Structure 1
Amino acid sequence: MSEVRKRTRVDNMNEVDHLLEHRFETLSLEEKLEVKRLGPHHPMDIAISQTAGKQNRAFNVEWFAKKKWLTASIQKKALFCFPCLLFGGSGGEVTWSRTGYKDLKHLSERITKHESSNSHLDNAVKLGLFGRVNVAVQIDSAYQRGIEEHNRQVEENRYVLGRIITCIKLCGKCETALRGHDESADSLNPGIFRCIFETMCEGDARLQRHYDAHPVFKGTSSTIQNELLDCMYEVYRDEIAKQVDETSFVAVQADETTDVSCKSQMVVVLRYLLPCNTVTERFLEFVEVKDKTGVGLCNSIKVVLEPLNLREKLIAQTYDGAAVMSGNVRGVQTLLKETYPNAQFVHCYAHQLKLTLQQLCSARISILKVFFANLTAFATFFSGAPKRVAALSEATHRRIPRPPAVRWNFKSRTVNAVWETRAALLQCMEAVRTQPGWDEKTISEAYGLSKKLRDRAFLQLLEFFSLLMPEVDVLYNTLQKRSIDAPCINSALAHFKENVQKMRQQADNLAATSHDGTDEPGRRVANTAQVMKEACDTVISQVEQRFSQSDHLIAAKLVDSSFFPQFVLSFPTSELDCAVKLWPLDNKEKLKSELITLYRHSELHTGKTALSLLKSIFENNLEENFAETVILLKIIATTPMTTAESERNFSTLKRIKTFTRNTMGQPRLNALAMLSIESQLIQQLQDFIPKVIEKFSQRKDRRAAFLFK
């Protein structure tokens, strides 16, 4: 399409002097329509006069009201006809269109004559009809048919894309691969996506018509799938950004996760309140971290959070131990607070303390990494196999606790079960090896486990962790109590460190115990005493770092309804001071007054959680009266605390772990995780498919069959 020269629009483009300088026929269509909209210019201060002998005449502006087509030039001090000025006059009417009329003596009769001229009438009709008719559409019927055909094709393309997006959504929700080993039509393994698409064609004539009409490109290619995945993830991110923009506070959770191809990545999850006062956790992004120092990890998180503008909203940050091991947990959270000053570091309820410490020990000490892998093999061996379980029950009269799919739920009772039944387990493994009726795989696995039960280093570490894990359990359960306070926390931490220090001092004695184990010939024997000491040091260090700042647990008691009867008698001043120190609560006195009133009205706190209290305030339309309390409740509900929250639901972090362990390093992992983990949110977005199609239509690298113009 030829480029049209653009002019700068001016406010006086309907004035005579402007139109004399810029002829109407040279203007763009947009400018012409604007001149018509403005209409004739009527300068009320026009000074047109005429002297004839002793008589002086002056133009009366009342003529503008009598004759709407009349206009005047300020510079020429002459009268003009607006339609003729635009479209040109002919014959004796040129005066009204080019030079201007100045004879005031004969003005009345000349106006009457001009109004009756054919030239004026033609120009008036042209002005009235200008802009109402698209000449190109009327003249060229082929052009009109082309537009209709194009619109029909676009609508058809959008429909097909919508069905393809539905197929991808279904595959993502079921966590199935989009492509098989061979995409050809006669392949025996074309992939689940192609099978679903072909099944949909059977009951859809429009989709079947497209499938049959395009022998090469059917919309099932990997290129289109990947582009659509990108677009779907973009729409999802836009929705998350919109929700985050509407919420008051946000918490970030970062964790390390590994897929089945052993590729390690960091996952970022956001936690916030929806407008309906419901806590939600949303998957945000997978980040491949190459720099695992504290600065590198912190910068990776900042890059993900920067587009969301969370400087004042981010009120909590939490990380799994292994994810930030190399960068020092304390270093990451301190660096992040430089950008997000309100982001308090907390130990997330989704991160079980015992497994966090186990991961830290495994990551820092390679021998322990092998030990915990071998320990998990015992539970795996007896899981899902009734014959093996029966053999175990006959030998030990108990079961080995089965490890869940999510590894941070690893229970210390697995350690205790293997330690306490080690002799019976060894007899069971020998029976499997020697008795008939067992398959080769089972015999091979039993032989490997029996060797571990004879390994002196394995037995020493097994005894060590059977003593250490219960101490971790006691500390974790203590921190889960609702009646937590600063002295209780400090006492629990001091008692835990004291017991672990005693175990560290006993490491040499534990390492000297043989447990009737043997060492493999030619194998380097590990210095288990040093390993035990390093594990104790790691555990003590991490516990101190994670719970040295536990004021948020104390401040959370302010809205714990179980304490309200007690707070009515004695207001919790120390807890209030902790809350004001931690979080952006500007009006301390007003918050205190609101809490005092809240404690006295038991009908408002029938529930047991901060979230139920928040909903009660909104249901009774008291949010304005308890403004500061609402802020406190939103902060506490958003913060992923440990107190009374452990194992309360299947968190987003756990679901992501499960997803990645069943996903083979596919491209567009962010989009696939989004479709699998956030399928419920995707279903709630009524305009999800139209938005994806719109984003796809804006991409430059799409196939010709799906062009959108």
Structure 2
Amino acid sequence: MLDETTDIASQSQLSTVFRYVKDGDIQERFLGFSDVSKNRTASGLSEHVFKLLEEFQCVDKLVAQGYDGAATFSGHLNGLQSLVKMKCPNAIFIHCYTHRLNLVLSQSVNFIKECKIFFKTLHSIPSFFAHSTKRMNALIESEVKKRFPSVSNTRWNYNSRIVNTVYENKLELVEFLNNIIDNPDNWDSNTFMTANGFVKVLECFDFSFQLEIFNDIFASTYTLFNILQSKSFDIKYRIDKVKEIISLLNEKRNDFILVYTTIKNDDNIESPRKRRRDDDTEKYLRLYNEIFDTTIRQMEVRFNDLKELSFIDLIDFKKISKFKASFPDEQFSSLKSKYQKFFNLSKLRSELMAVYSLSDFSGKTVTEIVKFLKETELADEAYSEIYKLSTLILTIPVSTLTVERTFSSLKRIKTSIRNAQGESRLSMLSMISIEKKLHEDIQNRRNFYDMVVQKFIEKGVLFL
């Protein structure tokens, strides 16, 4: 898994992480930072990848590669993923699922004019308080008693926090703003006028209608974000959750009457203005359907490659009764087309047919299957191919968040007063910080310090 950022010295730092399974547990290990400022092309990045694969002797073991959606990384013709697949044909490309979900939400907004206006207005609320310590202090001391989350143009899950905060504290916020309006002598003219504008917006039907919709949508997607960001969940579980969210959004699409009636009957919200004598219901039904249809369509488009990973259903033991009656040949063919060289396919087929008729595996997740086979020592002979398939599925990444988290250490270590340190030192200090638990485990070994001293002796370091 790779991602790139610019450090304090304006150098382009490429972070690399390996993901693998050891003793049934998922491991993600940071390998270091590399300065790729001189050559950020796909061919330059591929040289870095191939060097690491050769160094760790895993060219033939690479089963997946995970990046964000930048063309240099994800381009299917000349991008890094295509160059890696030329050398490692089994390394399927996984576009980070969290990036996809961000794109889904941002694209849903960009397609609809009313939504653009809604989020522009919503984002101005945190800015209004953030630009004045007096306003912020008064907000915290009011009935609201909390800060509004900051806005991020790249992290759309942050918008869910803003939506939820405004939604949950709307009445208290209106009361606070009205207090500003009622006491103009205590505030400057800009604060007074802006507070007056916000009150009108918050009591406006159009704003409240969209606030209700997006609070409902973000309640589902925020949970999905947290699931996608965790490395402890396997890809099978995460794909199922993506499908569940799509299904849930389809169900919520039918709740227009409930949402519309709730907002219209709220005494704290002004009724929508009617055009001529027409009923305004049709206008808001169109907007409601457009928001949900766009979001659902974007979800389906962004996650349309899930069909290519259909082989993960082979160990979906919630479908045992279905597979017992009819063997999943389509999913088996999918595995064969992508990872044939790693398996004894005839043995795998026999093992799958055997477990589909047993109850030992019923209802187990992939992670539980791996641990069960390891603990019962069935992974060595009886179900060796199923164990191999399970570890393969656990190895395939869904998100590159582990790589992105390394940038936090980079910012702490390479600062404005320590911006001239070498690349090797930067990587080593970052590794000590990022792999803290592993570092502590190594330190607890009996001969650790003897090994350190020996290394210094080999390098000819003089102790004083």
1:575 has 2:322 as partner: no
Equivalent position of 2:271 in the other structure = none
2:31 corresponding residue in structure 1: 284
Secondary structure of the corresponding residue to residue 89 of structure 2: coil
Give 1:689's aligned amino acid. Answer: Y
Deviation at 1:344, TM superposition (A): 0.9
Identify the residue that residue 609 of structure 1 maps to in structure 2: 365
1:248-279 Cα shifts (integer Å, max 9, x gaps): xxxxx1123466788653321111112x2211
Distance 1:282 1:616 in 2: 24
Contact persistence 1:389–1:399 (CA under 8 A):
yes
Q: Which amino acid aligns with 2:354?
A: T
Q: Indicate which of 306, 316, 324 corresponds to 1:550.
A: 306
**Which of 256, 269, 272 is residue 20 of structure 2 equivalent to?**
272
> Any idea what SS the aligned residue of 1:284 has?
strand
Listed as ranges, the matches of 1:201-600 within 5 Å are 253-257=1-5, 265-274=13-22, 276-290=23-37, 291-321=39-69, 324-325=70-71, 328-330=74-76, 331-348=79-96, 351=98, 353-355=100-102, 388-391=139-142, 393=144, 400=148, 410-415=158-163, 544=301, 547-551=303-307, 553-584=309-340, 585-600=342-357
Question: What do residues 110-168 of structure 1 show as CA deviations (whole Å, max 9, x unaligned)?
Answer: xxxxxxxxxxxxxxxxxxxxxxxxxxxxxxxxxxxxxxxxxxxxxxxxxxxxxxxxxxx
* Match among 355, 373, 377 for residue 621 of structure 1: 377
Asked if the contact 1:272/1:279 (under 8 Å) is kept, the reply is yes
**Whole-Å Cα distance in 1 between the matches of residues 58 and 170 of structure 2?**
53
Q: Measure, in 1, the Cα distance between the counterparts of 2:312 and 2:44.
A: 32
- CA RMSD in angstroms comes to 5.6
Question: What SS does the corresponding residue of 1:571 show, helix, strand or coil?
Answer: coil
Equivalence for 1:690: 450
Residue 255 (structure 2) aligns with: none
Instruction: Give secondary structure in 2 for the equivalent of 1:346.
Output: strand
What secondary structure sits across from 1:335 in the alignment? helix
Pair 401,389 (structure 1): closer, same or farther in 2 beyond 3 Å:
same
- Counterpart for residue 637 of structure 1: 394
Question: TM-score, normalization: structure 2?
Answer: 0.61
- Number of residues of Structure 1 aligned to a counterpart in Structure 2: 381
Question: Cα offset for 1:424?
Answer: 8.3
Higher relative contact order (CA 8 A, sep 6+): 2
Q: Is the 8 A contact 1:257 1:266 kept in 2?
A: yes
Higher helix proportion: 2
- C-alpha displacement of 1:633: 1.0
Contact map agreement 1:607 1:613 (CA 8 A) in 2: no
Provide Cα deviations, 1:552-598, integer angstroms capped at 9, x if missing partner. 54221222232223322332222222222222444322211101112
Secondary structure of the residue aligned to 1:672 is: helix
Task: Report the TM-score, using the length of structure 1 for normalisation.
Answer: 0.42
Larger radius of gyration: 1
**Separation in 2, partners of 1:694, 1:327:** 41
Shift in Å at residue 659 of structure 1?
2.8
Shift of 1:333: 1.5
Contact 1:260 1:660 in 2 (8 A): no
Unpaired segments ≥5 residues, structure 1: 1-252, 362-366, 496-536
Contact 1:392/1:399 (CA < 8 Å) preserved in 2?
no
- The sequence identity of aligned pairs, in percent, is 27
Deviations 1:77-125 (A, max 9, x none): xxxxxxxxxxxxxxxxxxxxxxxxxxxxxxxxxxxxxxxxxxxxxxxxx
> Partner amino acid for 1:659?
S
Q: Secondary structure, in 3 states, of the residue corresponding to 1:592? A: helix
Distance of 1:469 and 1:297 partners within structure 2: 41
Residue deviations 1:623-654 (CA, integer Å, cap 9, x gap) = 21222212211101111237xxx9xxxx6446
Distance 1:600 1:391, change over 3 A: same
